[in-house]
């Protein structure tokens, strides 16, 4: 593609997601085992949190390695040369170095192509960094700075907690998002609402530890309060754009950042409450919500009776609009910045292009501290897309099977791995001891750390991984014009 000329004032058309790639560790521990090992009542994690399994990384993997893996796989699957990437931005809260960015580590994948002209760095604010990186990339493509190349966003994190009630809400994973014009998943222009504030609901002040300081009650209230504000803002903007009131009937799917699945279920009920308070027809269709008329979002916050009523009333919406998207959250856990985009991958993996044609996906992103946004994606299935919607769905169709192919680890072995990570966090020099055989083929892994904290990575089973990889054609290939 020639370097674009924006002198005519035209925007690049249909900017959005061309490709998604998801990586998660090969090992997991079951939540049932964690209940037994912790002496917790049965169902505390599996029913109370609605979590099934939790993925985790041993000492062979870190934020650099999982990011290298997901980018390398993305490039291979889509047949991309690194020279076709003009912007690479990483959203993460997993910090190994207070100066050197994860993005610069990823640049080793670009050396052989000779492409060092790549904008973007790391973006950090709890679980929100991936969304911010995506917004930045879209803005780049829609600006005078764009040179015609793709943008690539990496949302990646390793979520670990100290022993205690928060530990079962961990997880690990990475999602790479390829962004460009003429996309099958188009970000709807003008339909984005953001809410930011200063809170201490979840934060990481101890730079020598992987663990966060968490105020559990506060972080749930902050999440839901920001959701209320973002949805109200989205509805106002949707009315300005379309001329009509917006409610959940206008969204075909509703996806949320997923700390744990029960939180997502409560969040959908919260949106139904907003509709009931603002759209009279909603209460007419759901008379069980009549007692809530006259209440406010603020005075219902934390009211468990209201919460239970909303969860029950929204159960049909859950089945139709949200449930499929919780696959990765239930089976991997909280991937922090990658969580929302794992939900998107889950939906695409279980739906066909025909199912998704002309559908709207409402997305809610939240990061503690706090930063939150709601926006929407429109699915386009026309065959002239740079990547067809059918190809995108097909590329992710093996996700459920991949989740089932992982290796179960006992709760005691999981605890030993967590202890090892804690003991060796930022150790230098250090030689990892976990077997490389615990990794998927095609995984980058940490080989060594020298006395100056310099990390060296190798790749496990690259040839085998390439043979197994399904390819996605880019039907309108782009070049950087160099």
The residues carrying an active-site annotation are 93, 127, 257
SS3 189: strand
Do 432 and 60 touch, CB atoms closer than 8 A?
Answer: yes
Cα-trace Rg, the chain: 22
Do 67 and 158 touch, CB atoms closer than 8 A?
Answer: no
Query: Would strands 360-367 and 253-256 be described as parallel, antiparallel, or unpaired?
Result: parallel
Query: Would strands 85-91 and 53-55 be described as parallel, antiparallel, or unpaired?
Result: unpaired
Q: Which residues lie closer than 8 Å to 111 by C-beta, 6 or more apart?
A: none
Q: Six-digit token pair at 234? A: 């989205």
Calculate the alpha carbon distances from 183 to 6, 20, 382, 388 in Å: 19, 12, 10, 8
What separation, in Å, do the N-terminal and C-terminal C-alpha atoms of the chain show? 10
Calculate the alpha carbon distances from 159 to 168, 399, 445 in Å: 10, 21, 18
Paired strand residues for 430: 449
Q: Six-digit token pair at 10? A: 């035209």
Do 148 and 4 touch, CB atoms closer than 8 A?
Answer: yes
Among residues 14, 358, 343, which one has the least CA distance to residue 187?
A: 14
Determine how many CB atoms are found less than 10 A away from the CB of residue 352. 14
DSSP 357-426: TT-EEEEEEEETTTEEEEEEEEE---TTSSS-HHHHHHHHTTHHHHHHTSEE--HHHHHHHHHHHHHHTT
Among residues 123, 153, 173, which one has the least CA distance to residue 16?
A: 153
Determine how many CB atoms are found less than 10 A away from the CB of residue 280. 12
Among residues 165, 167, 220, 174, which one has the least CA distance to residue 368?
A: 220
Do 178 and 152 touch, CB atoms closer than 8 A?
Answer: yes
User: What φ, ψ does residue 122 adopt, rounded to 5°?
Assistant: -95, 150
d(Cα 440, Cα 23) in Å, to the nearest integer? 10
- What ranges in 10-50 are assigned the alpha helix state H? 31-37
Do 255 and 264 touch, CB atoms closer than 8 A?
Answer: no
- In the sheet with 407-408, reading across from the earlier edge strand, the strands are 53-55, 27-30, 407-408
Q: Which helix (H) or strand (E) holds 194?
A: strand 185-196
């Amino acid at each position: 593609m020639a370097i674009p000329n924006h002198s005519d004032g035209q925007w690049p058309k249909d900017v959005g997601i061309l490709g998604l790639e998801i990586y998660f560790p090969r090992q997991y521990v079951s939540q049932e085992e964690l209940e037994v090992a912790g002496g917790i009542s049965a169902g505390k994690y599996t029913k109370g949190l609605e979590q099934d399994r939790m993925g985790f990384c041993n000492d062979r993997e870190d934020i650099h390695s999982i990011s290298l893996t997901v980018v390398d796989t993305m490039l291979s699957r889509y047949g991309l040369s690194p020279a076709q990437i003009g912007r690479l931005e990483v959203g993460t809260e997993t910090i190994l170095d207070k100066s050197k960015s994860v993005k610069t580590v990823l640049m080793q994948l670009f050396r052989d192509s000779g492409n060092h002209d790549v904008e973007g760095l790391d973006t950090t604010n709890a679980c929100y960094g991936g969304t911010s990186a995506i917004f930045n990339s879209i803005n780049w493509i829609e600006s005078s700075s764009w040179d015609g190349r793709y943008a690539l966003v990496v949302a990646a994190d390793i979520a670990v907690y100290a022993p205690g009630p928060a530990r079962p809400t961990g997880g690990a994973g990475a999602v790479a998002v390829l962004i460009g014009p003429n996309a099958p998943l188009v970000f709807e222009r003008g339909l984005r609402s953001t809410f930011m504030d200063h809170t201490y609901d979840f934060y990481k002040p101890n730079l020598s530890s992987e663990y966060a300081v968490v105020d559990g009650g506060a972080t749930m209230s902050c999440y839901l309060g920001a959701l209320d504000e973002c949805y109200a803002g989205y509805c106002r903007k949707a009315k300005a754009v379309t001329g009509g009131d917006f409610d959940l009937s206008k969204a075909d799917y509703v996806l949320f950042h997923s700390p744990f699945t029960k939180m997502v279920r409560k969040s959908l009920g919260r949106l139904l409450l907003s509709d009931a308070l603002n759209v009279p027809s909603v209460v007419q269709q759901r008379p069980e919500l009549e007692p809530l008329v006259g209440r406010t979002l603020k005075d219902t916050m934390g009211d468990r009776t209201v919460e239970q009523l909303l969860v029950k009333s929204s159960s049909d919406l859950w089945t139709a609009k949200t449930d499929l998207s919780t696959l990765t959250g239930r089976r991997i856990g909280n991937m922090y910045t990658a969580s929302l985009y794992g939900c998107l991958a889950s939906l695409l993996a279980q739906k066909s292009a025909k199912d998704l044609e002309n559908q709207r996906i409402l997305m809610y992103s939240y990061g503690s501290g706090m930063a939150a946004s709601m926006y929407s994606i429109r699915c386009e299935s026309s065959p002239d897309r740079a990547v067809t919607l059918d190809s995108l769905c097909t590329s992710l169709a093996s996700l459920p099977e991949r989740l089932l192919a992982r290796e179960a680890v006992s709760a005691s072995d999981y605890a030993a791995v967590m202890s090892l990570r804690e003991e060796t966090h930022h150790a230098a020099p250090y030689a990892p001891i976990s077997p490389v055989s615990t990794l998927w083929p095609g995984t980058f892994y940490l080989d060594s750390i020298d006395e100056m904290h310099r990390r060296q990575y190798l790749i496990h089973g690259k040839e085998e991984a390439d043979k197994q990889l399904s390819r996605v054609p880019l039907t309108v290939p782009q070049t950087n014009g160099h």
